[in-house]
Structure 1
Amino acid sequence: MCGSGTEEAGMITNSCPSCGRIYSYPLMECTFCRVSLVEEETREGRVVAVTEVSVPSLGHEEVPYWDALIERPQGGFAIVKRDLPTVVGESISFGSADETASYTIGVVGSGVMARGLVELFLTRGQNVVWVGRSLERLERAKDKVSDRLARIMDEDQLQVAIGRLAISDSYKDFEPCDLVIEAIVEDTAAKLELMRELEPVLRDETIIASNTSSLPLDVLTTALKKPGRFGGMHFFNPPTRMRLVEVVRAPETTDETDRFLYDLSVNLGKIPVRVANGPGFVVNRVLMPLLNEAVRALEDDAAPAEDIDEAVRLGLNHPMGPLALADLIGLDVVVSIMEDMHARLNDDAYAPRPLLQQLVEEGRLGRKTGSGFYEYTPPPAP
């Protein structure tokens, strides 16, 4: 039976016989291959890695479940979410409703956000092609990712995860990717140049996403011949911990691209929110004036930095104070976002405060450089 799907655990699941993609919503044909979808059958596989996760639920402080990486007998891997204890080496049966879709995702950039995205994608069972200008810098970044994964995985799990990662200094190695997401410097000219270089080497069906936190997508799409394949996928730092993804639709983004980015966010364990292609989207439009006003309070000697953060954290029930949050984001990133939004909105609430600009000029960019509004000891390795 083609295109009908199977109702299992409240989900409609079917697959593409050509590319193997799994769909958890009703479709007649694959949005990539245009091939009729077929009903999914229960399959078996061997558990090669597993992570136990505990989440709160109504009436219970912690409810455990297990994310298992399954090796299929016919080759390839699947991520399966289970509510039964699962151990490495056992064979289990699973259906599409249990399975997290697996893709090959390209990442551009070697900074803090790019590293966080690579770590996230690997922990969720995705294959990753990581491209940057310098292989030496990528090797150092890969080591940092490996060190972080080692904190949550045993040696066998770590080797499986790192085995799904390839690094390169050539965009041509993005050829097998289903999605390429850029996480380079927050600069319009740099992103436009990247788009012009990326598109010619990608397959027609490969989706391109930007992790920009504020830049207008309609400007970035001017560098693309096929702007329908492009959309915004704004993760928050650190992406392994922050649950929100702003899914941003450019004027020419197709329904298929928008749906893919939304569904992928869910597969990655995130909560996607569709937002308009406006200055700062939603979060930064609200956040930047708050950060700026916290800096003004510090300039005016309203209170020391620690007390400003403590007051906001406790008084507004925020998990982190605004000055500490600015340090975490990166003060250079904060200034860049504010300058862009100030120019586009003509609102002085977004004009970076002098102290903020001074810290950036001094190279005190926050956690990543070892100092910002606070001192961090020891400073992070380069």
Structure 2
Amino acid sequence: MKIISVIGSGTMGNGIAHTFAQSGFKVNLIDLSQERITAALATIDKNLERQVSKEIITAAQKTEALANIKSFTQMDQGVKESDLVIEAATEDMNIKLKIFADLDKLCKPKAILASNTSSISITKIAGVTSRADKVIGMHFMNPVPVMKLVEVIRGFNTSDETTKTIMSLATDIHKVPVEVHDYPGFVANRILMPMINEAIQCLHEGVAGVSEIDTVMKLGMSHPMGPLQLADFIGLDVCLAILNVLYTGFGNPKYSPSPLLVNMAASGQLGVKSGSGFYDYKGGGKDLVISKKFRRSS
């Protein structure tokens, strides 16, 4: 594979573009908004510079990686010569189905179409294309340049050849691919999201406070980050969307989102990206500060 296109320049999209470009691939980064693309390229530049300062890469390698990225605001221009297109748009079924239906018409017949979805059915996504054998999931972990895991999700009709190609490609970009089958939440989020949801419910019921819940999981279970901080990092709207997929897909009340999560997402308190969630991120310091809403009076 020579040319990789990435649809969406947000946190996951720019991370995926960064990773492929750093590994020597030509990358087309596509977003409808030039403003978002400009911000994404600035983020990639900053993250590459951080790698230079840590002596992970050289300044020359940074320059080469940036030169490997082209940007487009029109999808037809960015994908027509691509060997692989990775969709990293909002975790919304209707948006993804529209993108894949369009990609099927715009891409060359041999191109593989992948989704970075964290929970939505690859089989359903493939159903709007005429190349279901070439549709697959590549669920990267955030932050993409740092995290090693890629869940490679086989849809019902994904071919062995497509799966083998993507597993090999993930290795080529220094990731560890794990093949999983197409069920709601796959493996990572089917296990992770109920834990996060239960932590939120413990807070909602007053079992313990924010720092207490996170401390128990960090010190007691050796998690690098507590579940409430992790929820803030992922985005509470994303957590809610994934839980809704699990709840709808399995019809099991154990996946029903906590009322506190529902209310926080509805109020726009989404975590890091909104500046406030279970913790307050507006101060800009490295120390975690519990959001005013959850502080306990002494």
Q: TM-score, normalised by structure 2?
A: 0.90
Letter in 1 for 2:30: V
Match of 1:219 in 2: 124
Match of 1:50 in 2: none
Matched, 1:119 2:18: yes
Within a 5 Å distance, the mapping from 1:131-280 to structure 2 comes to: 131-153=30-52, 154-172=58-76, 173-280=78-185
Report if the CA contact (8 A) 1:369-1:379 is conserved.
Answer: no
The one-character-per-residue Cα deviations of 1:151-188 (angstroms, maximum 9, x if unpaired) are 22354332211111000012222122211000101111
Q: How far apart are the structure 2 equivalents of 1:150 and 1:378?
A: 24
Letter in 1 for 2:132: P
Q: How far apart are the structure 1 equivalents of 2:59 and 2:175?
A: 26
Identical-residue share of aligned pairs (%) = 38
Letter in 2 for 1:166: K
Letter in 2 for 1:291: I
Report if the CA contact (8 A) 1:104-1:176 is conserved.
Answer: yes
Letter in 2 for 1:168: F
Once the two structures are TM-superposed, the CA of residue 125 in structure 1 deviates from its matched residue by 2.0
Matched, 1:357 2:278: no
Letter in 2 for 1:325: L
> Which ranges of structure 1 fall in alignment gaps of 5 or more residues?
1-20, 22-102
The one-character-per-residue Cα deviations of 1:1-25 (angstroms, maximum 9, x if unpaired) are xxxxxxxxxxxxxxxxxxxx6xxxx
**Structure with the higher strand share, 1 or 2:** 1
Letter in 1 for 2:75: Y
The one-character-per-residue Cα deviations of 1:187-229 (angstroms, maximum 9, x if unpaired) are 1111010011111111111110001111111111111011111
Letter in 1 for 2:61: Q
Mean alpha-carbon deviation: is it higher for 303-312 or for 369-378?
369-378
Q: How far apart are the structure 2 equivalents of 1:266 and 1:378?
A: 39
Match of 2:274 among 369, 375, 378: 369
The one-character-per-residue Cα deviations of 1:250-279 (angstroms, maximum 9, x if unpaired) are 111111110111111111111111111001
Q: How far apart are the structure 2 equivalents of 1:306 and 1:120?
A: 33
Q: How far apart are the structure 2 equivalents of 1:297 and 1:118?
A: 38
Once the two structures are TM-superposed, the CA of residue 379 in structure 1 deviates from its matched residue by 6.0
Q: How far apart are the structure 2 equivalents of 1:124 and 1:157?
A: 10
Report if the CA contact (8 A) 2:18-2:65 is conserved.
Answer: no
Higher relative contact order (CA 8 A, sep 6+): 2
Report if the CA contact (8 A) 2:22-2:62 is conserved.
Answer: no
Q: How far apart are the structure 2 equivalents of 1:132 and 1:248?
A: 24
Closer, same or farther in 2 for the Cα pair 1:140/1:207, shift >3 Å? same
Match of 1:332 among 237, 244, 255: 237
Letter in 2 for 1:288: M
Report if the CA contact (8 A) 2:10-2:36 is conserved.
Answer: no
Match of 1:105 in 2: 4
Aligned residue for 2:232, secondary structure, equals helix
Q: How far apart are the structure 2 equivalents of 1:181 and 1:379?
A: 32
Q: How far apart are the structure 1 equivalents of 2:61 and 2:175?
A: 22
Aligned residue for 1:359, secondary structure, equals helix
Q: How far apart are the structure 1 equivalents of 2:60 and 2:283?
A: 30
Aligned residue for 1:203, secondary structure, equals coil
Q: Which entry has the higher C-alpha Rg, 1 or 2?
A: 1
Aligned residue for 1:151, secondary structure, equals helix
Match of 2:200 in 1: 295
Closer, same or farther in 2 for the Cα pair 1:206/1:379, shift >3 Å? farther
Match of 1:341 among 246, 251, 276: 246
